[in-house]
Amino acid sequence: MRIIAGTARGRSLKMPDSITRPTSDRVREALFSSLGSFIEGARVLDLFAGSGGLGLESLSRGASSVLSVEHDAKACRVIEENAHTLSLQPLRVQRGDVIRFLDRAAASTAEPFQIIFADPPYARDEEREELITTLMEHPGLPSLLADEGAFILENFAKRDLVIPPHWHCYKEKSYGDTRLTYLTKASDPEN
């Protein structure tokens, strides 16, 4: 895996042993092409950060800061090591469960993020589907996104995704088994 564009273009990323499904170069390239210059100066939240590829690519392309949330300790160390090696800062890594992070972060008065990435494990089982449903329905997640921000969810393309009323889906695109769903906060969640 490598950084596709920006200041660290072409540089390789170290991968943690614990990560089995990083976002492919093809999907990352399509994702960042769709975001275009919106990434420049953006505050980015990377949930289920895994290898950290989305956050590091964001910094390489001009994001102002990245907060990566990942539960695996080895993955967290690798994200920090990659950020240091590639001189991609400011990046902060928070180790912990994403849903618990959302519970705490939603209660704080933190400045909202312009972009939120979520790449939860999406094995084809009920437990993983429950995790995605819990994430999508979490009331704190929209409060962390700026009004004109984008929430991009990576998911298994062959599963239907139920969009809760507090989200508006403005784009979906599939790449093999991977679907990217682009969401914004609904202007009127009741309708």
- State residue 16's pLDDT score: 78
Query: What's residue 187's pLDDT?
Result: 80
The CB density around residue 46, as the number of other CB atoms within 10 Å, is 27
Q: Determine how many CB atoms are found less than 10 A away from the CB of residue 6.
A: 19
Asked whether the predicted pLDDT for residue 191 surpasses 50, the reply is no
CA distances from 191 to 145, 153, 165, 168 (A): 20, 22, 7, 11
- The residue-averaged pLDDT of 167-177 equals 93
pLDDT, tens digit (0-9, with 9 covering 90-100), for 69-102: 999 999 999 999 999 999 999 999 999 999 999 9
Backbone angles phi, psi at 107, to 5 degrees: -80, -15
Q: Domains of the chain (ranges plus CATH)?
A: 25-185 (3.40.50.150)
Q: Quick check: 173 pLDDT over 60?
A: yes
pLDDT tens-digit map of 26-70: 888 999 999 999 999 999 999 999 889 999 999 999 999 999 999
pTM (2 d.p.) = 0.91
